[in-house]
Amino acid sequence: MTKFVFVTGGVVSSLGKGIASASLAAILESRGLKVTLIKLDPYLNVDPGTMSPFQHGEVFVTDDGAETDLDLGHYERFIETRMKRTNNFTTGQIYKSVLEKERHGDYLGKTVQVIPHVTNEIQDFIKRGAGFGTADAVDVAIVEIGGTVGDIESLPFLEAVRQLSLRLGPNQAAFVHLTYVPWIAAAGELKTKPTQHTVQKLREIGIQPDALLCRADRMIPDDEREKISLFTNVALWGVISMPDVDTIYKVPRVLHEQGLDGLICDKLRLNTPPANLKRWDDLVSETAHPQGTVNIVMVGKYVDLSDSYKSLNEALRHAGMKNHVSVKISYLDSELITPDNVAQLARFDAVLVPGGFGVRGVEGKICAARFAREQKIPYLGICLGMQVATIEFARHVAGLRDANSTEFDPATPHPVIALITEWKDADGSIKTRSVDSDLGGTMRLGAQSSDVVPGTLAHQIYGDVVTERHRHRYEANVNYLDALRQAGLVVSAKTQREHLTEIVELPQTTHPWFVGVQFHPEFKSTPWAGHPLFNAFVRAAQDHHAHTAATPEKALV
């Protein structure tokens, strides 16, 4: 029978529940257990797909096309199990399901209430995510509950997991609570009172944690641990320090050395071999001993919140480890990039233009793509980054001076990027399917495969077929591809089913490394192997760094 670990948070948000949950899962996986993770988000949105990156951070996309919380990216980077749409659900999805059942008459005329109908629905969703009672069942499902204890939004989730732990029976569920122990500089001491209060709040609703993960800027001394144990009714060995670390990949070792996995296995009556964390130790050693540095600039629209590009940041770091270099990432707001100041990009070893939505900052991204093309700086454009590179090439190389995307200029005379419903034959007829007018869940989402053209840079990186995840609405307009090809742009991959443009590049005879991809390769990068596209991009940055170091005048414009 699948066993469960429920992870809650207290005091403040953004303490790292996702990293803590993923790290515990990684240790349990190293003991030979089959593990998955489930994230419960207490907001009413059906999914984060229409939420601002400034509010929610990155939207992670799974192979089966679900737009999910960014914590699922942490999960995939820490364990072998791939996430699905059933691994993340929201209050919005729960209420939507309950209301649909009520309209269908599934409740047989009963008054529909939070308890038991909403809480039962939450339990059903949790079991589904764990494959409970099926051939896909895991040994342990770690369930992370978003928000903090005391929030009204998360109360139904907490009540649901309390009920589920009782229904499962003894030794089938454990509770881990992540809390905050602040250092008060004026007093010169750590304060345990916020932790006491958050556990008291948790116990008021009937949940007694088995372990406390105490976030702080340092290790918690034994005296404070004993005090926390005494006032929270948690055994001393269950009061575990989670100090700040310089890389998240140290967290599994930190938790293991304090016995968290042993405590959980004892609680759940799991008899397993000892944990083997050698791969994590090797990973930490690699990050600590780089053989060089490359400087990559990310020209984006959401640079004020680094979580907006969480998977991208990690993918670049993974590629750095693979190439034995430290990747230093600088962020420039594309709204502030103009033809007058774009030359500042010359001091970097490579330029990355990430995805995004809306017209704000697009001309700055186009400036960045042009500068990288003309100055032969390695360039990687992802999603919108590919589209702006295509627009820039159309304007300044192919002679289509007013080229644009219909997303930014619906009246553009040269819509080189457009919705597929806007691609028309000469007689004006629509070439393909229509698109729903709703914004939520209407994009090209999830994993799709494409055929790669032999002899191209993309083929060197991927081979014959590339399968990557997508999240976009607008596509490269097939009606302009011939004109762009004649001007020198290489379309090096197209989807197998609809023949949509997936990868564009410049010939290596004219540019050392210039690639734009319509998909999001960052979602499949792991710290163990990196990702072939990012590995190649970082190698190109290394080559550019070595070249400009040998000929300093090349770095000047």
Residues 61-89: tens digit of each pLDDT: 999 999 998 999 999 999 999 999 999 99
Q: Are residues 239 and 346 in the same domain?
A: no
In a domain, 202, yes or no: yes
Among 100-109, 194-203, 499-508, name the one with the lowest average pLDDT: 100-109
Residue that finishes a domain, picked among 256, 283, 310: 283
Of 74, 117, 470, 520, the active-site residue reads 520
Average the pLDDT over 343-349 and give the result. Answer: 95
In a domain, 390, yes or no: yes
Distance of CA 290 to the CA centre of its chain: 25
Average the pLDDT over 229-243 and give the result. Answer: 96
Query: What's the confidence (pLDDT) of residue 303?
Result: 78
Asked if 384 and 353 touch (Cβ cutoff 8 Å), the reply is yes
Q: Are residues 13 and 110 in the same domain?
A: yes
In a domain, 424, yes or no: no
Average the pLDDT over 102-126 and give the result. Answer: 93
Q: Are residues 357 and 489 in the same domain?
A: yes
Whether the per-residue pLDDT at 427 is higher than 50: the answer is: no
pLDDT single digits (tens) 238-289: 999 999 999 999 999 999 999 999 999 999 999 999 999 999 999 999 999 9
| Structural domains of the chain, count | 2
Q: Are residues 242 and 143 in the same domain?
A: yes
Q: Are residues 295 and 272 in the same domain?
A: no
Percentage of the chain beyond pLDDT 90 is 81
265 a catalytic residue: no
Query: What's the confidence (pLDDT) of residue 466?
Result: 95
In a domain, 22, yes or no: yes
pLDDT single digits (tens) 288-317: 999 999 999 999 988 777 778 899 999 999
Q: Are residues 189 and 326 in the same domain?
A: no
Alpha-carbon span 515 to 459, nearest angstrom: 12
Query: What's the confidence (pLDDT) of residue 190?
Result: 94
pLDDT single digits (tens) 132-190: 988 889 999 999 999 999 999 999 999 999 999 999 999 999 999 999 999 999 988 99
Asked if 324 and 350 touch (Cβ cutoff 8 Å), the reply is no
Whether the per-residue pLDDT at 109 is higher than 90: the answer is: no
pLDDT band at 550 (very low <50, low <70, confident <90, very high): confident
Tell me, what CATH number does 476's domain have? Answer: 3.40.50.880
Neighbours of 557 (CB within 10 A): 12
Instruction: Report CA-CA distances (Å) from 76 to 3, 82, 126, 130, 262.
Output: 20, 6, 18, 15, 23
Whether the per-residue pLDDT at 126 is higher than 60: the answer is: yes
383 a catalytic residue: yes
Residue that finishes a domain, picked among 283, 303, 324: 283
Q: Are residues 247 and 347 in the same domain?
A: no
Instruction: Report CA-CA distances (Å) from 347 to 126, 372, 544.
Output: 49, 11, 11
522 a catalytic residue: yes
Query: What's the confidence (pLDDT) of residue 54?
Result: 66
In a domain, 328, yes or no: yes
DSSP 510: T
Q: Are residues 62 and 139 in the same domain?
A: yes
Q: Are residues 262 and 317 in the same domain?
A: no
Of 74, 159, 383, 407, the active-site residue reads 383
In a domain, 498, yes or no: yes
Average pLDDT of the chain to the nearest whole number: 91
Among 46-50, 102-106, 347-351, name the one with the lowest average pLDDT: 46-50
Q: Are residues 378 and 229 in the same domain?
A: no
What b/e sequence results for 496-508 when a residue is b if at least 16 CB atoms lie within 10 Å of its CB, and e otherwise?
eeeebbbbbbbee
In a domain, 428, yes or no: no
Query: What's the confidence (pLDDT) of residue 424?
Result: 53
Tell me, what CATH number does 94's domain have? Answer: 3.40.50.300
Q: Are residues 76 and 120 in the same domain?
A: yes
pLDDT single digits (tens) 368-425: 999 999 999 999 999 999 999 999 999 999 999 999 999 999 999 999 999 888 765 5
What b/e sequence results for 450-481 when a residue is b if at least 16 CB atoms lie within 10 Å of its CB, and e otherwise?
bebbeebbbbebbeeebebbbbbebbbbbbbb
| Sequence-ordered list of residues with C-beta below 8 angstroms from that of 456, at least 6 positions apart, any chain | 490, 492, 503, 505
Q: Are residues 321 and 264 in the same domain?
A: no
Residue that finishes a domain, picked among 252, 283, 314: 283
The residue range of the domain holding 528 is: 291-418+443-555
pLDDT band at 426 (very low <50, low <70, confident <90, very high): very low
Of 121, 468, 475, 522, the active-site residue reads 522
Q: What's phi and psi for 180, nearest 5 deg? A: -125, 130
pLDDT single digits (tens) 477-525: 999 999 999 999 999 999 998 899 999 999 999 999 999 999 999 999 9
Q: At 203, list the tokens.
A: 């116990």
3-state secondary structure of 90: strand
Query: What's the confidence (pLDDT) of residue 326?
Result: 95
Among 189-193, 213-217, 330-334, 429-433, name the one with the lowest average pLDDT: 429-433
The number of residues in the chain equals: 557
Query: What's the confidence (pLDDT) of residue 448?
Result: 93
In a domain, 434, yes or no: no
